[in-house]
């Protein structure tokens, strides 16, 4: 009986002695995700988001599967090791995330001349006085991330950014996996000054016809959209701005920011009823006409209210950044309407895009 117990114990312990992992663990193995089952690694599945057309693939784990390096980039051994350990800014499974791993990248002793200038709207041209190789510029500000290839000229290379939100971006330039420049790009966003009072009250910034021309030129669905009141939306935006004596572009950008309803036809009536996100608890406001009227009225209301508060204006609690002290009444009104910096950055970006299109 004692001998039988020893044999059974030995049989039970053999898998434990030979076990190399704990059931449920995962690891990367040449682009495949292996899963541990009863002490042994078994092939589980291919990495999500990676295939031969993209290039070398590894996995982080079940949730963040698929950190890829493009086939045009030859990763050094240290980078592959780092990737397998879980590369990525915020665990992003995108190729550019590997650029942020110090052990992946080689650092250049060169200090190329780099210039940045405003190109159009909030788009910037980044020029580097170097050519050749596979140069890309990598921008990030904590909200958005951009990877932009350079276009090579005879003596320099340049890249054009998309329309950027206001703020300070980290700016890094890579040639392959070699970082050749590191700096910042300040697009001038100031959390305490979202807009000047003069711009906020510029009721003549655009005409009704210019708003309609914007719609017609871009063939946006709103060019033919009539509100329940029977008027074109361009006319309603302009007339409510005139009534409240505020900039019509504030309302136009608000509709796009809240529901993307300027450039894309809403698929549900709720999107039209909530067009500007204004006082949605009031059923009398929850219709397209009422939403445009409400946005114009509330923006002007908070502007006028701020004028009674004296100077400096009171500190405001904003949800996604530390408290701010608005420098003017326009900023106070915009934060009262949307107490989020991210929302105001988006609104400003849309506002500038439409302004630059109309005035270009």
Q: Please give the full DSSP string across 270-336, using - where no structure is assigned.
A: HHHHTTT---TT-GGG-SHHHHHHHHHHHHHHHHHHHTTS-SSPPPB--TTSS-B--SSHHHHHHHH
Instruction: Measure CA 147 to chain center.
Output: 12
Q: Check if the beta carbon of residue 136 is closer than 8 Å to that of residue 179.
A: no
Alpha helices in the chain (DSSP H): 2-18, 77-84, 197-200, 208-218, 233-244, 248-259, 269-273, 288-306, 329-337, 341-359
Q: Check if the beta carbon of residue 299 is closer than 8 Å to that of residue 333.
A: yes
The arithmetic mean of pLDDT across residues 76-90, rounded, is 37
pLDDT at 12 over 50: no
Q: Check if the beta carbon of residue 316 is closer than 8 Å to that of residue 326.
A: yes
Share of the chain above pLDDT 90, in %: 32
Rounded distance, CA 349 to CA 275, Å? 18
Specify the pLDDT at position 63. Answer: 28
Specify the pLDDT at position 348. Answer: 84
If we measure between CA atoms, which residue out of 79, 89, 31 comes closest to residue 55?
31
Specify the pLDDT at position 34. Answer: 66
Instruction: Phi first, then psi: give them for residue 238, nearest 5 degrees.
Output: -65, -45
The arithmetic mean of pLDDT across residues 210-231, rounded, is 93
Q: Calculate the alpha carbon distances from 67 to 42, 57, 104, 266, 333 in Å.
A: 21, 6, 13, 35, 43
Instruction: Phi first, then psi: give them for residue 173, nearest 5 degrees.
Output: -120, 130
Instruction: Measure CA 150 to chain center.
Output: 21
Share of the chain above pLDDT 70, in %: 66
For the chain, give the mean pLDDT.
Answer: 75
Cα-Cα-Cα-Cα dihedral sign, residues 97, 100, 105, 110? positive
Q: DSSP string covering 255-278, please?
A: HHHHH-TTTS--SSHHHHHTTT--
> Which of 31 and 340 is assigned the larger pLDDT?
340
Rounded distance, CA 226 to CA 47, Å? 49
Q: Give the CA radius of gyration of the chain.
A: 28
The arithmetic mean of pLDDT across residues 88-102, rounded, is 37
pTM of the predicted structure, to 2 decimals: 0.53
> Which of 210 and 116 is assigned the larger pLDDT?
210
pLDDT at 112 over 90: no
pLDDT tier at 121, thresholds 50, 70, 90: low
> Which of 337 and 184 is assigned the larger pLDDT?
337
pLDDT one-digit tens code per residue, 171-206: 888 876 677 888 888 776 678 888 889 889 999 989
Specify the pLDDT at position 177. Answer: 64
Specify the pLDDT at position 84. Answer: 37
If we measure between CA atoms, which residue out of 79, 83, 50, 55 comes closest to residue 177?
79
pLDDT at 66 over 50: no
Specify the pLDDT at position 71. Answer: 34
Rounded distance, CA 25 to CA 40, Å? 10
Look-up: residue for tokens 């890094």? 172
Specify the pLDDT at position 44. Answer: 54
């Amino acid at each position: 009986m004692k001998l039988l117990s020893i044999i059974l114990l030995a049989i039970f312990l053999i898998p434990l002695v030979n076990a190399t992992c704990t059931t449920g663990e995962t690891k990367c193995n040449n682009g495949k995700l292996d899963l541990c089952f009863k002490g042994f690694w078994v092939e589980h599945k291919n990495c999500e988001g990676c295939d031969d057309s993209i290039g070398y693939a590894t996995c982080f784990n079940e949730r963040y599967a698929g950190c890829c390096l493009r086939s045009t980039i030859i990763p050094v051994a240290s980078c592959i090791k780092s990737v397998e350990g879980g590369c990525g800014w915020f665990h992003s499974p995108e190729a550019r995330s590997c650029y942020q791993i110090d052990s992946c990248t080689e650092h250049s002793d060169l200090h190329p001349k780099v210039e940045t200038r405003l190109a159009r709207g909030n788009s910037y041209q980044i020029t580097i006085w170097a050519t050749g190789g596979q140069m890309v510029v990598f921008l990030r500000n904590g909200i958005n991330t951009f990877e932009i290839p350079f276009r090579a000229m005879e003596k320099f290379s340049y890249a054009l950014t998309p329309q950027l939100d206001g703020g300070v971006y980290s700016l890094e330039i890579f040639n392959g996996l070699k970082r050749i420049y590191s700096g910042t790009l300040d697009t001038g966003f100031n959390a305490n000054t979202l807009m000047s009072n003069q711009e906020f009250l510029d009721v003549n910034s655009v005409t009704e016809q210019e708003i309609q021309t914007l719609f017609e030129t871009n063939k946006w669905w709103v060019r033919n959209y009539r509100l329940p009141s029977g008027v074109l939306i361009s006319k309603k935006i302009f007339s409510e701005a005139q009534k409240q004596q505020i900039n019509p572009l504030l309302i136009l950008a608000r509709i796009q920011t809240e529901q993307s309803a300027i450039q894309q036809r809403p698929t549900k009536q709720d999107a039209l009823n909530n067009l500007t996100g204004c006082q949605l608890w009031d059923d009398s406001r929850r219709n397209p006409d009422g939403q445009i009227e409400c946005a114009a009225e509330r923006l002007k209301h908070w502007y006028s209210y701020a004028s009674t508060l004296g100077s400096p204006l009171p500190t405001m609690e904003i949800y996604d950044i530390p408290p701010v002290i608005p420098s003017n009444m326009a900023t106070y009104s915009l934060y009262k309407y949307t107490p989020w910096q991210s929302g105001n950055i988006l609104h400003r970006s849309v506002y500038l895009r439409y302004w630059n299109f109309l005035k270009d």
